[in-house]
Structure 1
């Protein structure tokens, strides 16, 4: 359907499906023209013209809203009223806002049985209904409505109960299937394209406004505030007596006489210092921009930074321990990751400890792997001996090449350069 600044109202009388019945109570595909089967409202409020046409870019037919900024209403009246009290009921329909939706609705109203003599062409906004369901969007409003009307057993009046926090309307221009499932357990489930978007309970005051079951107590509309009512939450204790040693001139706070200055405290240290990691931008022009000054940071932050730096320096020294040579690359990778992400320093320390424990475990309990025994056939002894000599020569050449490569290749950085 094409909607833009349109209030689209499609009305179907008591339409639904029940899971306990194989066949739907009502189904409309619009494969054929709606004329003669659906009745367009003739009320003055509804000037929009319905059309039976293909959806843009598809071969499927449907009801098409032809004009912008107009209201539409069309009614399909069932032969017999449907009682929705028994079993699970499913209300479902598909709509497409192929031109988007700026301000309007594309919802259905499931009508109650009307008064004798009522005709479908006389439908208007005041026609009694039981359920209103579907997308509605305008300004700050963006929701898939679900409203049901319930007859108050005491007053006899029908009251609208609105679903709180309904799901939002999809913002694209594709077709979407809107489904409302009403269960005998008083549970409501709303789905869009088969995906559950909202669950609620008809009897819960947290899900519907106003609540279907009224509160046990309500404010008394005739109640009035007493003339001598005191708005103050607290008042002075009339029985309180001032202590004998009370000093009216004593300050609110005093120095802690037992406090001791921490070791290494710098009395003359400024609260802020230049950021040691800041550098002048490459495009900085002293003549135009003025003399560049490094941004200030709190001295405490510098202390923390230096403390973290010392921790990483120690970790790099540990990585250089000779018996950890086989695991050095793995340890250095973990340390470098911690330098790049200081917020996970604790995690990095834990990871390094785990790596160290794993290494010690392997060294202590790993042992040596047994050498596989190879029994050569007598017919191939000569060939094996020749091959061994060739292999030894090749091995010697490879060792010389490896020594050259090691000398030429740069040593992997084992600590951060400052």
Structure 2
């Protein structure tokens, strides 16, 4: 439900009233948390959203329908679902202007991929400046693009793209999104220290800093390519014990010795067989080449690594995290197969409230899972019935073809008989006709 809509959700009222009491009692110096925009797609949602005509002139514009989907935890909890295959679908809403300078930005929404999505996006965008909502599309500049993008079995990417000084920068990490057919929440939290967190279903999936995870500014530190490993640098963790001495006579111990249990055969004839020598066996006293024991190297310094130095090209921007004031939120996606349900869009400055929203919606999580299982069973039964019908139709067509082939063979046999026997052939036909 929009902040400016027909009213706030019970959760929002409870959360904010409780927080207000807490602030009042503790005389807290922190600013009160604020919900900038919250859309649950209740009745009246269309008055807050503008469907774009982008790609309409080319016949490639899609549309949304207001529905909870084919399965849900609560049939009355509706979102908007892409409804036309192989189309560009775009819609946006104007929100109260939000500036995240010295404030935390929380962007959260839920999406359910009901279709067997082959290739398509499921992301959401925040936009700044003026946007002609009737022309909102893929070319419209944005400040944040966040959410899943799937294509085949290879691409299961979770986009986090931010705009800085008019240029878009994707996160360098390879983040993966969910791919099943249940509702999932995606949350992006950006803080005033330029740190961020990414949550899926209310649980942190990744975190870091804009300084390191986006190639926006040059790195603070770089490797000192002029550095060389010191000559006395010890990388050996263990060394031979210098105090250990090889025992006297160690090298004279033979590897093999004559078998003391062996006896010369009675039939051995030294004149004919030569001098008898006992066969050799491994010497139990032989211990192999002598090796001194190893001890911990007192001068060990670890594996040498190239040191880092301050990057002379780095120039800090304390407002790195600051986006242009947010004025619009939009969904602009292209999908081979339609069927994605967007819902529960939230823009606020309090991550804890966002988590409470996830908990509230997920109270019906098990019901949604059961509904999905029933839908999958019904789909499988339909597919089996269609396959059975197709087999039966195929067998019928084959029987018809076989009957036609036999009939044509009979006609060809008659023609050959007539050609060969003339009148007798015609008499043959008359005879069979009388029969």
TM range (shorter): 0.3 to 0.5
> How high is the TM-score relative to the length of structure 2?
0.42
Structure with bigger RCO (C-alpha 8 Å, 6+ apart):
2
